[in-house]
């Protein structure tokens, strides 16, 4: 399950790779890909009785403002096994702030050749409102039982915002590779 050689994709920003860490509606165990080994590590057991409302992972070879790879929620008709790579496209962004600062998440669906039913989804406006409420509710509440942890919803972003965020995260990753010690 080593993903060091998995790129962000060849058609960025219109399509990109996501490495899944958490399957939709899976057990409340949060996994994170170890950057050195590529293996999934148990990050924490979630203290709330909640489950991720969509497949959750990250876009490889990106660096978000929080210093980690750019997060992505991928909406699929079935859960995707952790460690799998899925080619996706953005419908928009969810901007949050948590106890560590800004926390942005791409909202995505698989490309149409992987999941034909998602071909007619083009923006967050095409999703059922309850799904957006579910995403918001989950990320605002999943940390509430962890001492000192919190998360606040800020706003939604468009497809264009998501593509710009993705391009910025790739550029930040490339800058870090070019100058790993900027200090």
112-157 pLDDT per residue, tens? 999 999 999 999 999 999 999 999 999 999 988 889 999 999 999 9
Q: Exposure of 130 by Cβ count < 10 A (0-12 exposed, 13-18 middle, 19+ buried)?
A: exposed
Both tokens of 86, joined, read 């899925």
Q: Exposure of 178 by Cβ count < 10 A (0-12 exposed, 13-18 middle, 19+ buried)?
A: exposed
Q: Is 126 annotated as a binding residue?
A: no
Q: How many domains does the chain have?
A: 1
Q: Is 56 annotated as a binding residue?
A: yes
DSSP structural state of residue 97: E
1-51 pLDDT per residue, tens? 556 688 999 999 999 999 999 999 998 888 888 877 778 889 888 888 889
55 pLDDT higher than 70: yes
- Please check whether residue 37 lies inside any domain of the structure: yes
- Please check whether residue 1 lies inside any domain of the structure: no
| CATH number of the domain bearing residue 48 | 3.90.80.10
Q: Is 142 annotated as a binding residue?
A: yes
- Please check whether residue 67 lies inside any domain of the structure: yes
- Please check whether residue 183 lies inside any domain of the structure: no
């Amino acid at each position: 399950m080593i993903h060091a050689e998995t790129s962000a994709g060849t058609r960025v920003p219109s399509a990109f790779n996501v490495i899944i860490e958490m399957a939709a509606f899976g057990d409340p165990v949060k996994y994170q890909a170890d950057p050195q080994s590529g293996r999934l590590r148990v990050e924490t057991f979630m203290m709330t009785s909640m489950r991720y409302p969509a497949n959750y992972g990250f876009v490889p070879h990106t660096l978000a403002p929080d210093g980690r790879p750019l997060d992505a929620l991928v909406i699929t008709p079935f859960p995707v096994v952790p460690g799998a790579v899925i080619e996706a496209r953005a419908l928009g962004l969810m901007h949050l702030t948590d106890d560590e600062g800004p926390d942005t998440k791409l909202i995505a669906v698989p490309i149409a050749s992987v999941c034909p039913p998602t071909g007619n989804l083009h923006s967050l406006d095409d999703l059922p409102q309850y799904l957006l409420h579910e995403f918001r509710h989950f990320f605002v509440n999943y940390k509430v039982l962890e001492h000192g942890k919190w998360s606040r919803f800020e706003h939604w972003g468009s497809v264009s915002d998501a593509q710009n965020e993705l391009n910025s995260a790739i550029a930040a990753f490339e800058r870090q590779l070019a100058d790993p010690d900027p200090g």
